[in-house]
Amino acid sequence: MNRIKLLVAVLAICAQTSFAQNFNDKDIIFKSNDDSITYAGTLSVPKAAKKSPAVVIVSGTGRQDRDGLMSGHKIFKEIGDSLASHGYIVLRMDDRQTGKTTGFYDKATTGDFANDALLAVNYLKTVPQVNARKIGLIGHSEGGAIISIAASKSKDVRFLISLSGLAMNGYDALISQNESMVNNSKLPDYDKARSNDINARMFKTALKYADSANMGAKLNETYDAWKVKDDAYFKTLNIEFDHFRFPVYSYVNYAIGPWYRYFVKYDAAKTMAKIKVPVLAINGDKDNYVVPEANLQNWKTYIAAGGNKNVETYLLKNVNHLLLPCVTCEQAEIKDIKGGVAPEAFRIILSWLNKTVK
């Protein structure tokens, strides 16, 4: 390790050990407007806070706890602790049906999660140390779409930070994400082509019939028609065993649920044109889930279409979907990564917040 890297490591350790000294964590709860859901989370308040800016961290797809524990890394806790140590009030929440938050996750849509975020903003407005005119949202992955929807609906959201955040129509996101995963897989080329073909056909059908009661039947019809053609195609390859399988049963059951029906129709361009507040978007160039270049461009283009050009975007080198520095940058590597979120990401976030919000 050279001197510069050693100095960075020492500073990072010092920052980590100082966190507990300059802010307090408090377990909090608040309820939905109809009292049907109790939300639980951790509120981090700097000891010197007095009418300070505040943020809500919003998770992505899949139930996550307030710490954002993913593959052994507590991503949201790390981000929250860093921001709190620099004077920002941070609220991290358990997702629905996770930790101490009630409700049913599988019955909720991206739009419902946006409403959850706005309830968290309303809660922050009741905290004496919070400057109610400086409350923002930080969204990871699907959280990018969630915070976009929330900001398009409420003037209480004063700034947005997207971390590996989605800025793409739901249908397009499904296509690009699955193509990225397939093309980066170890499947033979002929199976990659077959996978991309059936995925595209199923997603197109799901979009067309998203509001239809017979969506499931149409998806099965699409698969059956493809299977006939695919079986004939596979015979031309002169390969003895066919190892390719499309999980049609599990896919159809998932697609007919409320989240998928909402998401496949999500119109990012229409939603993001309504965002009128400053935006920071950061992606890693090794992100295999949210295609970085296209989404970063959309953060600028879609928001600018509504007249707001106050958007900054950054592409970090050799950084994955969790904003962790990586080597192979494959999913299997994540659990073995020893460090935390890329230091450059923290530098950009804090610099942007200090000049834009604080």
- Distance (Å, rounded) from C-alpha 72 to C-alpha 339? 11
Q: Is the dihedral of CA 34, 37, 38, 43 positive or negative?
A: negative
| 60-80 per-position pLDDT tens digit | 999 999 999 999 999 999 999
CATH top-level class of 12-168+267-356:
alpha beta
Alpha-carbon distances of 165 from 11, 176, 186, 260, rounded to whole Å: 28, 14, 26, 18
- Distance (Å, rounded) from C-alpha 220 to C-alpha 251? 10
Average pLDDT over residues 51-56: 97
Specify the pLDDT at position 331: 87
- Distance (Å, rounded) from C-alpha 167 to C-alpha 294? 8
Spatial contact of 9 and 1, defined as CB atoms under 8 Å apart: yes
Q: Show Cβ contacts of residue 148 under 8 Å, excluding neighbours closer than 6 positions.
A: 139, 160, 167, 268, 271, 272, 275
Q: Token pair of 253, please?
A: 């059951």
- Distance (Å, rounded) from C-alpha 207 to C-alpha 242? 29
- Distance (Å, rounded) from C-alpha 180 to C-alpha 243? 20
- Distance (Å, rounded) from C-alpha 276 to C-alpha 155? 9
Residue keyed to tokens 């981090």: 44
Q: Token pair of 301, please?
A: 């283009």
* Three-state SS at 180: helix
Average pLDDT over residues 259-266: 98
Q: What is the pTM of this model?
A: 0.92
Specify the pLDDT at position 184: 85
Average pLDDT over residues 136-146: 98
Which amino acid is present at 13?
A: I
Specify the pLDDT at position 21: 65
Q: Please say if the pLDDT value at position 202 is more than 70.
A: yes
Specify the pLDDT at position 3: 35
Spatial contact of 50 and 44, defined as CB atoms under 8 Å apart: no
Indicate the domain borders of the chain: 12-168+267-356, 171-263
For helices 75-85 and 343-356, the axis angle rounded to 10 degrees is 50
Cβ neighbours, 10 Å, residue 201: 16
Q: Please say if the pLDDT value at position 15 is more than 50.
A: no
| 312-340 per-position pLDDT tens digit | 999 999 999 999 999 999 889 999 999 99
